[in-house]
Amino acid sequence: MIQITQPRLAFGCMQFGGAADATASRAMFEACLAAGIRHFDTACGYSDGASETLLGQFARGHDLFIATKVGYHGGAGRANLLAQFDASRKRLQMDSVDLLYLHRFDPETPLQDTLETFADLQARGLVRHIGLSNFAAWQVMKAQAIAHSLGTCIAAIQPMYSLVKRQAEVELLPMAADQDIAAFTYSPLGAGLLSGKYTQGSAGRLTEDSRYATR
């Protein structure tokens, strides 16, 4: 089983092509490179695909670790995952990615079917590592057992985690440490809450995204 050995910091590109236009997105990308960050995280659904398109443009000529996600919309069935991943690779202008996450748990699709699709992509050399985003610990362990039966493994998880959202400390992070699974947490500033932006009347995900505010 191949484990991820990458720098501890990753940059999330959710705002690329959305709240941040192409110029602002490139400025953030260049700032990351200057700071030594080489791991960039995106998803097929970020800014309706614009995030992947911009990241693909910026990444040309650089040695980077690229992660993307599929399955947030449309379920985790094989046809949907393959269609979304094919579109992601085209937008990124990459034949393969370093890490592919299932964006969220799909109770309507058997994990066996989903993991077989991911394992097939990995066997074809299109994906180096398999990850799970927004999964509970029991869901990760169930997926890991299936992955092992297929000759692969869940190499990374991506839970929300910050000083104001610490639930991951209870089960997810200890599980990841015990199972040698990399944990790339997201929203470290609590959707901007820890930055002080809301005390200044600024808008943000907590005020604009009802689904995010209830997590």
Cα–Cα distance for residue pair 45/85, rounded to 1 Å: 11
Please spell the DSSP secondary structure of 77-137, one letter per residue.
-HHHHHHHHHHHHHHHT-S-EEEEEE-S--TTS-HHHHHHHHHHHHHTTSEEEEEEES--H
Cα–Cα distance for residue pair 145/21, rounded to 1 Å: 42
**101 is an active site residue:** no
Name, in order, each residue with C-beta under 8 angstroms of 58's C-beta and a sequence gap of 6 or more.
25, 26, 29
Its sign, for the CA torsion 113, 111, 77, 50, is: negative
- Catalytic residue, candidates 46, 72, 101, 161: 46
Residues paired with 70 in a beta bridge:
102
61 residue type, one letter: G
Strands 97-102 and 182-183: unpaired
The catalytic site residues sit at: 46
